[in-house]
Amino acid sequence: MPRRTAMTKWRPRALMMLALLAGVLATGSFAGSVSPDDANANDAKAHDANTSDAKKADAQTPDAKRLDAETPDARTLAAPADFASIADPNSRSAAYFTELGKVLTNPRCTNCHPRTDRPRQGDQARLHQPPVFRGADGFGLPAMRCTSCHRDANFDPAGMPGHAEWHLAPPEMAWEGKSVSQICAQIKDPKRNGGRSLHDVIVHIGTDSLVGWAWAPGVGRTPAPGTQKQAGALVEAWAESGAACP
C-alpha cells in the first residue's frame, strides 16, 4: 500500500468541504427548508453523536427498525453443508441463494448498487451527501469524480471508505429495493450482469477486492455478514446445484 503523505491526507477533506458547500448552495437547504434528504442527513448526524437520544431518533426510521430486528444469525452465513438435509436439489439450490441474499441486500452492497444514479451511505442507507451522481462511466460527473474523495484505501480519521476502483455499479446491476428472487434472476442474466458466466459470478463475489471491501468497510460501518470466502462458497454451491432462484 502506498505511503500516505500529508498532501493526500488533507486533500480529500478540503475537497469534501468544497463539495459540501457546493451541495448546500445547489439545494439551498442551508436556510432551513428541510427536504426529505436533509432530514436523512440530520438523522445521520444524530446517529454519529451516538447518544441514547440519537439512537431513539434512528429507531424511528424503517431502516433502523430493520437493523434492530436482526437476530445474531443476520451477521453470519451458513455453510453449504448446512443445507444437506434439503433433499430436493431445486429447493436446496434456492436455499443457498436465499442465504447469499443476506449479503446481496446488505447496505454494504446496495449502497453501490442503487436504484437511482445516486449512491447511498452508511448502515441506514441514506442518500449520499454531498449529492454525487453516477456519470457516464460510474466514476461520477466530470466536476465531482468519486476518486477525488474516495482514495485507494479507507481513511478512517475522516470516516472515508476507499478502494482504487471505487465507483457505482451500472443501472442494469441495481439491487437496491429488489427482492432476493429478483436479484437472483438478474445476477445470472448476462445482459444484466456485465456478460458474466456463472463461473465469473462465483469468482467475482468470492475474490474481487472491491466486493471484498464490504467485509472491511472501515470505522462506523457494519461489515457484510459472514466472510467473502463463505459468500463465494454459497455462490459456488448455488451454481453447481442448478442456480435455482428462490
Can you read off the three cell numbers belonging to residue 126?
441514506
The residues, any chain, with a CB within 8 Å of residue 138's CB and separated by 6 or more, are: 167, 168, 169, 170
> Contact with ligand HEC (CB under 6 A): which of 108, 151, 236, 239?
108
Given phi > 0 = left and psi -120 to 50 = alpha, else beta, which region is 203?
A: alpha
Alpha-carbon distance of 149 to 15, in angstroms, equals: 7
Q: How many C-beta atoms surround the C-beta of residue 84 within 10 A?
A: 9
- Per-residue mark of binding to ligand HEC, 186-225 (x: CB under 6 A): -x-----xx-x----x--xx----xx-xx------x--x-
The nearest distance, CB 65 to ligand HEC, in angstroms, is: 19
Our CB check for ligand HEC shows the closer of 98 and 121 to be: 121
Closest CA to 210 of 127, 139, 134, 145: 139
Per rule CB under 6 A, is residue 57 in the interface with ligand HEC? Answer: no
- Residue 146: what residue type? C
Q: Which of 166, 180, 206, 230 binds ligand HEC (CB under 6 A)?
A: 166
- One DSSP character per residue, 218-243 reads -TTSPPPSS-HHHHHHHHHHHHHTT-
How far apart, in whole angstroms, are the C-alpha atoms of residue 188 and residue 220?
Answer: 32
| Residue from 112, 180, 237, 239 binding ligand HEC (CB under 6 A) | 112
SS (H, E, C) 16-46: HHHHHHHHHHHHCCCCCCCCHHHHHHHHHHH
Q: Total residues contacting ligand HEC (rule CB under 6 A)?
A: 46
Q: Give the nearer residue to ligand HEC in terms of CB position, either 41 or 95.
A: 41
Q: How far is the CB of 189 from ligand HEC (least distance, A)?
A: 9
For ligand HEC, the binding residue among 67, 160, 198, 244 (CB under 6 A) is 160
Residue 104 interacting with ligand HEC (CB under 6 A):
yes
Q: Which residues contact ligand HEC (rule: CB under 6 A)?
A: 15-16, 19, 103-104, 107-109, 111-113, 119, 121-122, 128, 130, 132, 134, 138, 140, 144, 146, 148-150, 159-161, 166-169, 173, 187, 193-194, 196, 201, 204-205, 210-211, 213-214, 221, 224
